[in-house]
Amino acid sequence: MRSIKLYDTYEGKLREFVPLEEGKVDIYYCGPTVYNYVHLGNFRPTVTFDLLTRFLRECGYKVRCVSNYTDIDDKIIKQAKVEGKSEKELSEFYIQAYEDCLNKLNILPLFAHPKASEYIDKMASFIKDLEDKGAAYQGGDDIYFRVNSDEKYGALSKQNIDDLISGARIDINTKKENPLDFALWKLTDDDGIKFDTVIGRGRPGWHTECVVMVNSVFNKPLIDIHGGGFDLKFPHHENEIAQSEAYHHTQLANYWMHVGFLLTNGVKMSKSLGNSTLAKDVLERHSGNGVRLFFLSTHYRAPVNYTEENLIAADKLSQRYLNSFKKAYYRLSLENIALEGLITEDYEEFMNALASDLNVSNAMTVLDREVKEINSLSIKKDADFTRLSSLLFTFSKLSTILGLDFHVEELSNEDKAMVKAYNEARENKDYAKSDELRPLLMEKGIL
């Protein structure tokens, strides 16, 4: 297998990637809370982990990538009342809206897309076991996790517990033993969705949902890679690890990966700040390829600034790639030449760039170089078709690894006849005829 290095947030450094089981990789990244349309920033981790999945599969690994839907949450209850729907109706509507965006972004089908509501009994049993182990307790109307039960608490976010406690807000709930203790289960008879379980009637806390879904979907206590947006590092992922340490004595994942923020005017895009732009609206104005290229233009761990100008530039780059590929592809098609012949040195340079913590910028230099040569060969009368075929074959393979979809319609017999008529008109110096056909062929991307 290829040598791969990934930045592990838990260790705080680049680490050689070694899977827990040879030839297999299990990945989980946190998905959306489905109470509304998601903003564009929610899809940056999605695109990043889709790229990671594609790359690892290209390296020969069997990858199981999973992302959840949080469909049990107080925000969902509140929004359901606003829209006059049940919690289930609301969450299903926004799940569909989210998946429409996934399709437009050419995201690979996941191994599983679990919903929190499907694992309630397992969550309740998990919490009961934590109580039995002394890692959880009931305080008032909630069941809390006892943070002091995890000696390593703060290891992911590199924060000291004493510092966290001194900086914590005074909690009006005096039933907590420690201000950092977090709710695992809300025992309630309110009018929100709730479930009858072995620990009582109520609903789970967010931090528990993900731990139980990871353990249940993969059927094991430790997976290879867990991640999400940088903002999830603390408290969400820290709290997931704490529960896993208390229950299984593992950190839940062998590698933790976090994706940088999407910014608006230098500030994190967030619904709570009122500066968010909905992903569905962006994908109506811009192509899926363009949005992917926009995200990939900056290393996944660094912040990237959202502007319409940046997205327009990404769209133009996508269109330039497509036009170059299409024109060359049609020329080979007219010569009945198939795409074949991987350019090994380009492939290796590209893959080695991605093997260095997904360095897409270096990988993209290979595509840019190939497009330049494709453009040069495409206009030559005596073009080296073998070389052109290899360039297109390699470009297609590499762009697919990046998740770009450059679909080209095959030439119809009518198109081929038009090209033949155009070439004959030029040879016969019938400029009126060639001038008539040229714009038609250009519109189809053949010239």
pLDDT value, residue 207? 94
Beta carbons of 279 and 37 less than 8 angstroms apart: yes
H helical segments located in 171-223: 206-218
Residue-wise pLDDT for 342-379, tens only, equals 999 999 999 999 999 999 999 999 999 999 999 999 88
pLDDT value, residue 165? 66
Residue-wise pLDDT for 315-347, tens only, equals 999 999 999 999 899 889 888 899 999 999 999
- Return the residue matching tokens 């695992």: 184
Nearest of 372, 289, 376 to residue 331 by alpha carbon: 376
Mean pLDDT of 115-121: 97
What are the start-end ranges of the E strands in 163-293? 182-187, 195-197, 200-204, 223-229, 253-259, 262-264, 267-268
Q: Of residues 362 and 141, which shows the higher confidence score?
A: 362
pLDDT value, residue 172? 53
Mean pLDDT of 66-70: 97
Q: What global pTM score does this model have?
A: 0.93
Residue-wise pLDDT for 157-212, tens only, equals 998 777 776 555 555 556 899 999 999 999 988 888 999 999 999 999 999 999 99
C-alpha 54/C-alpha 108 separation (Å) is 8
pLDDT value, residue 191? 85
Mean pLDDT of 233-255: 97
Domain spans in the chain, listed from the N-terminal domain onward: 5-259, 413-443
Residue-wise pLDDT for 255-306, tens only, equals 999 999 999 988 888 877 788 899 999 999 999 999 999 999 999 999 999 9
C-alpha 431/C-alpha 282 separation (Å) is 44
Mean pLDDT of 137-165: 89
What are the start-end ranges of the E strands in 18-129? 24-29, 62-67
- Other C-beta atoms within 10 Å of 403: how many? 22
pLDDT value, residue 387? 97
Query: pLDDT over 90 for what percent of the chain?
Result: 79
C-alpha 329/C-alpha 367 separation (Å) is 16
Strand-pairing partners, residue 204, are: 185
| DSSP summary character for residue 325 | H
Mean pLDDT of 233-254: 97
Among 32-41, 231-240, 401-410, name the one with the lowest average pLDDT: 401-410
**Distance set, CA 149 to CA 137, 180, 239, 249 (Å):** 11, 12, 12, 11
Nearest of 123, 44, 99, 205 to residue 91 by alpha carbon: 99
Nearest of 127, 137, 144 to residue 195 by alpha carbon: 127
Residue 350, token pair as written in the block? 């590209």
C-alpha 155/C-alpha 242 separation (Å) is 10
Burial class (CB in 10 A: 0-12, 13-18, 19+), 25: buried
Q: Over 90: is that where the pLDDT of 77 sits?
A: yes
pLDDT value, residue 115? 97
pLDDT value, residue 171? 55
Q: Over 70: is that where the pLDDT of 121 sits?
A: yes
When pLDDT is cut at 50, 70 and 90, the band that residue 4 belongs to is very high
C-alpha 88/C-alpha 71 separation (Å) is 8
C-alpha 33/C-alpha 71 separation (Å) is 6
5-259, CATH topology level: Rossmann fold (3.40.50)
Contacts of 334 (CB under 8 A, 6+ apart): 411, 416, 419
